[in-house]
Amino acid sequence: MSDRRRVRASLRIWVSLALILVAAVTFFVTRSTPPRPVARPVDEVYLPGYALYSESAERMPVQLFFPGVDLNLKAENREIYRSDDAADRLRQVVLLVLGGPGSDGLLTVFNDGVRLREVYLYEGTVYVDLDIPEKAASPTGALMEHLAVRSVEASLVRGFPEVERVRILRNGREVETLFGHIDVRRPRPLFAGSPAG
């Protein structure tokens, strides 16, 4: 075996060892950092307040959307309980969005005062009825209010083909804005090229 070949062979061994080491460290680091717990549990953000699912029910993956630190919407993988009723799946998604992200680096979009009254699905439109007390009327500026609306819309529209558009209601009524800045009067599909998500 020539010198050059020997050097190449030992280089290959060292590179492989280094790669295995990096993989092992990554595995243990990510395993030992559990995702941050959900900001608020589901029964706190659901106004009717009754338990929705038994813990033993089968679960399915969903993608939720929250703003990242750069204020662009980012997907987060979560789970909901499997249900044959579409409105039931969508209700769980909204509850998770209201509860806040489960991972670091994502921002909570609704403050503690906001809860879900109900979710309805009718001919492709999801009606999301939020309970927003008067005191929580303006907890935010225009950009965060926009991101809150977009989080709900994106989480419902992107993961569920039966959803074409989202209509957000406040305290059971159609309103111009949720917190005084962003227009929510019409059911809106996600339109391409929209800012911040």
Question: Of 43, 79, 162, 164, which one interacts with other proteins (CB under 8 A)?
Answer: 164
Q: Is 183 in the site for other proteins (CB under 8 A)?
A: yes
- Min CB(168)–other proteins separation in Å: 12
Helix (H/G/I), strand (E/B), else coil: 197: coil
Q: How far, in Å, CA of 174 to CA of 186, rounded?
A: 9
- Based on CB atoms, which residue is closest to other proteins, 88 or 165? 165
181 is a site residue for other proteins (CB under 8 A):
yes
**Cα–Cα dist 194/126, whole Å:** 20
Q: Site for other proteins (CB under 8 A): how many residues? A: 33
What binding mask, one character per residue, do residues 124-163 give for other proteins by CB under 8 A, x or -?
Answer: ----------x--xxxxxxxx-x-----------------
**Dihedral angle, C-alpha 171, 97, 127, 118, nearest 10 °:** -60
Helix (H) / strand (E) containing 96: helix 86-99
Does 38 help bind other proteins (rule: CB under 8 A)?
no
CB within 8 Å of 18: residues ≥ 6 apart: none
The residue (of 162 and 176) whose beta carbon lies closer to other proteins is: 176
- Report the amino acid identity of residue 115: R
CA 96 – CA 37 distance, rounded (Å): 12
Q: 79 or 176, CB closer to other proteins?
A: 176
Q: Which of residues 68-97 bind other proteins (CB under 8 A)?
A: 69, 71
